[in-house]
Amino acid sequence: MIAEKDNVVSIVYELRSGSKDGDIVESLTPDNPLTFLYGTGGLLPKFEENLNGLSAGDSFEFLLNSEDAYGPVVETAVVHVPKTVFEVEGKIDETLMQVGNTVPMMDAEGRRLNGKVIAIEGGAVEMDFNHPMAGSDLHFSGKVTEIRNATEEELTHKHVHGNGSHDCGSCDDNKGHSCSCG
């Protein structure tokens, strides 16, 4: 069996920033692999492209340039927000509003995003909403540990169910089906 659309793929890898000699950003081991439904758009397209056709036991090593990963650093993603955004029950949460903290927020359309506090100036907080890896090339080296056919439920819900899945949680497909993975 090979890594291709609608198969469940498990991999372990080491991610380094910039090159194969860069700083280690993430390391996944056999006891905590990345398990995902191949071809559903849940991962970076070029990442999946580099795994296409591999079998269990195959090793991989590739570099994604920043344009194929999280893109360049976008200057307009650095914004000033009023300190009042950090109010909880009428008081500013000083522990949340600390330089270096990454704070979960929502944009005007209700989409979740994370912003990193980079400065506090008067009545405003300067926040960076770029992805933490924006502007960085990503070097992956690892191994495919398992490939299996996806279940019908996984195909319907477009994510993996069961233990070992990083793409797991609860879902509702608006057709009365819901799942909770454990």
pLDDT at 161: 86
pLDDT at 176: 42
| pLDDT tens figures, 154-182 | 999 988 987 544 444 445 444 444 454 44
Please state the pTM of the whole predicted model.
0.77
Q: Are residues 54 and 106 in the same domain?
A: no
Q: Total domain count for the chain?
A: 2
Residue 157: helix, strand or coil by DSSP?
helix
| Among 88, 110, 128, residue at a domain's last position | 128
CATH of the domain at 168: 3.10.50.40
Query: Is there a domain that residue 2 lies in?
Result: no
Query: Is there a domain that residue 1 lies in?
Result: no
Residue 74: helix, strand or coil by DSSP?
coil
* Domain membership of residue 101 as a residue range: 75-128
CATH of the domain at 91: 2.40.10.330
Query: Is there a domain that residue 53 lies in?
Result: yes
Q: Are residues 11 and 66 in the same domain?
A: yes
Q: Are residues 147 and 121 in the same domain?
A: no
**Token pair of 39 as six digits:** 């071809």
As a whole number, mean pLDDT of residues 17-46 equals 94
pLDDT at 95: 87
Q: Are residues 84 and 169 in the same domain?
A: no
pLDDT at 162: 75
pLDDT at 163: 54
Give the CA count within 13 Å in the CB-facing half-sphere of 109. Answer: 2
